[in-house]
Structure 1
């Protein structure tokens, strides 16, 4: 379990509630069941309308990606590829067959098997790049689900507030209840904006980062397998893969920075 995601959401919600209480508010003032139904129910409904069933089935996997700890260590992958390169140089790539078939990483297992089978390097690159591109699109679709929720939630909050104000204006004959009714109405806006900026959008961003990390590792493994197949020096392979992974990570950070600048 990735504690940073859980701690971040908990800290964000705690800061909002804590600030409200420090300002003299009461926790009961934040618990408005009707507003929660409008905002969260409306957001879920809008997301369901926006995406086909095949995308909606991906929600559990998307949540798992955001809350799950990273399973692989890039340095361990590099060390393993370098060790395989040493074996391939001494005994030939056929010596990697048993190791390839038993490898737990499906992408590396399939790629190594193609190397052992003598697949042409250009064809090997083409096949694996198609797989990488498909995985990249999959992670993008995961993030879009939560980005959509983050876009709809504030609007649903405004809708809930307007509905609450309509109710308030229809009961002007009881002025002593107006203040409380207006406060309840605005709680919908609070739910919408808070859920978007503390839950939905941060989870979408975490999914993007997790996806970029995985794609960078797949790119690195692809280059490692091609270098291994070409019989390159293991030390040079290690240097290349280490530098390649650093470049990919920096590139992902640059994409996020550029995207933030464009949105601003």
Structure 2
């Protein structure tokens, strides 16, 4: 579970409701069923119209991506590739066949299989890059669902407010109820803007972030696969792949930083 997604949503909603209550508001004033029906129902309807059924079926997967954090261990992948490079230099690439068939990562398994099968390096690169593009496009399509919801929700809120004001203006004979009715009408706008900026758009941003993480990891594996196929030195492969790790300084840059720190001391 990605606790940061839950924490962010809870903090955002708590800040809004808490600020309202500190100003002397009452919680009942925020609980308006008709406004919720108009905003959330209208947003769901607009999203359904905007996307094909096949893409909407991926919604549970999109929520899983946003609320669950996949355990990634790039160091382990690098070590595996380095070990395989060492084995390939000693016994040839055919010795990797068993590991290629059993590896848990489908992208790396596919690349290793092509190496063992003797696929042309350029073709190997093209096929794996197509797989990367497909994964990136899939993440983008999932994020678009929530981006669209984030765009529709404020508009639905405005529609709900206008509908509420129309109702208010049609009942001017009862001035005593005008203030409460107007407040109720504007609750729809609050629902629309709040849900867009605390739920829908942040979830879309989280899915895009997951896409970037996945893409970087696949780029690292692709580089390792091509290096394996080229028979490069295992330690050079390690140095090359380590550069994909976030926040890592390798090679001359790290040495230069260490020298600068020493001089500063």
Q: Please, what TM-score do these two structures have when normalized by structure 2?
A: 0.91
For 2:142, the equivalent position in structure 1 comes to 142
User: What's the offset of the Cα at 1:170?
Assistant: 0.4
User: What's the offset of the Cα at 1:211?
Assistant: 0.6
- Matches of 2:27 and 2:100, distance apart in 1: 58
Deviation digits for residues 3-22 of structure 1, max 9, x if unmatched?
00011111111111111111
For 2:261, the equivalent position in structure 1 comes to none
For 1:201, the equivalent position in structure 2 comes to 201
Deviation digits for residues 113-170 of structure 1, max 9, x if unmatched?
1111111100100111111111111111010000000000000000000000000000
For 2:102, the equivalent position in structure 1 comes to 102
For 1:164, the equivalent position in structure 2 comes to 164
SS at match of 2:71: coil
Structure 1 residue runs of 5 or longer lacking an equivalent are 248-264
User: What's the offset of the Cα at 1:244?
Assistant: 3.5
Deviation digits for residues 28-85 of structure 1, max 9, x if unmatched?
1100000000000000000000111111111111111111112221222111111111
CA RMSD of aligned residues (A): 1.0
**Structure 1 runs (4+) greater than 6 angstroms displaced:** none
- Matches of 1:18 and 1:82, distance apart in 2: 53
SS at match of 2:108: helix
- Matches of 2:27 and 2:143, distance apart in 1: 32
User: What's the offset of the Cα at 1:86?
Assistant: 1.1
- Matches of 2:245 and 2:222, distance apart in 1: 12
Bigger Cα displacement from structure 2, 45-54 vs 91-100 = 91-100
- Matches of 1:42 and 1:149, distance apart in 2: 10
Equivalent residues in 2 for 1:99-248, closer than 5 Å:
99-246=99-246
- Matches of 1:68 and 1:100, distance apart in 2: 28
User: What's the offset of the Cα at 1:225?
Assistant: 0.5
Equivalent residues in 2 for 1:81-96, closer than 5 Å:
81-96=81-96
SS at match of 1:232: coil
Bigger Cα displacement from structure 2, 215-224 vs 87-96 = 87-96
Equivalent residues in 2 for 1:4-83, closer than 5 Å:
4-83=4-83
- Matches of 2:167 and 2:76, distance apart in 1: 62
Q: Which structure has the bigger radius of gyration? A: 2
User: What's the offset of the Cα at 1:25?
Assistant: 0.7
Bigger Cα displacement from structure 2, 51-60 vs 154-163 = 51-60
Structure 2 residue runs of 5 or longer lacking an equivalent are 248-265
SS at match of 1:244: coil
Deviation digits for residues 204-226 of structure 1, max 9, x if unmatched?
00000001110111111011000
Deviation digits for residues 232-254 of structure 1, max 9, x if unmatched?
0111111111113449xxxxxxx
For 1:258, the equivalent position in structure 2 comes to none
- Matches of 2:190 and 2:246, distance apart in 1: 41
SS at match of 2:243: helix
For 2:260, the equivalent position in structure 1 comes to none
